[in-house]
Amino acid sequence: MGLFNAFKRKGIDQWVEEYRKTPGAVLLDVRSIEEYQEGHIPESKNIPVHQIEKVASAVSDKNTMLYVYCHSGARSGTATSSLKRMGYINSVNIGGIISYSGKVVR
């Protein structure tokens, strides 16, 4: 069983924990403004995926570690691809808030 656990992907809860331990990291919610207002992970910044180019106003250092999430993981995947094309070399798609079991801010 240990061998199979080595291939298991991290869940959003584990990624959020890693974010909290990473100095200077940014937790980025790429859902719509309305979705963000309905509930988001504490400390996250909201930049909707269709406005991802605005990330430069919130995160100027392209070496910053960016932990990106959305509702299910699809939009955050699109966002991380766009971020990498924009030169943000340390962005990771951590999945969707629907799998998050921690506290949510409303």
Active-site amino acid positions: 70
Single-letter amino acid code for the residue at 13: D
Place of tokens 């991380």: 80
| Degrees to nearest 5, angle at CA 86 with 64 and 20 | 25
Show the tokens assigned to 1.
């069983």
